[in-house]
Amino acid sequence: MAISKDTVEYVAHLARIELQPKELDKLSEQLKQILGFIDTLKKIEAAEIPPIANLSQDTNVKRADKSKDSLSTDKALENSPFKEGKFFVVPKIIE
């Protein structure tokens, strides 16, 4: 499918995009390449190819879910500048 500079200029006008002549040339060429690629894809017989979600054959890789000891209260509060007993002390933000 061919696309002319006039068509690109018209669509840019509709989209309220101001294109300089150099930009118009570049965009016209890029759109010609994209449409050419789409035409190439249309020629491919893909009826026998099953649809896929991604190109990689990897499945969802997850780590083993193993429990381990959690951080102790003393260790968690070790670097806290303000603490009271076994709790963090933070400024009150709601009155």
The answer as to whether 28 is a domain residue is yes
Number of structural domains (the chain) is: 1
Name the β-bridge partners of 83: 88
Query: Is residue 58 scored above 80 in pLDDT?
Result: no
For the chain, counts of helices (H) and of strands (E) = 3, 2
C-alpha dihedral (38, 39, 45, 51), degrees to nearest 10: 10
Q: Which domain holds residue 17?
A: 5-43
Residue range 17-42, pLDDT digits in tens: 999 999 999 999 999 999 999 999 88
pTM for the model stands at 0.47
Question: What integer is the mean pLDDT of 48-58?
Answer: 78
The answer as to whether 68 is a domain residue is no
The tally of CA atoms less than 13 A away on the side-chain side of residue 31 is 17
What CATH number should be reported for the domain holding residue 39? Answer: 1.10.20
The answer as to whether 23 is a domain residue is yes
Residue range 63-91, pLDDT digits in tens: 888 898 899 999 999 989 999 999 999 98
The answer as to whether 60 is a domain residue is no
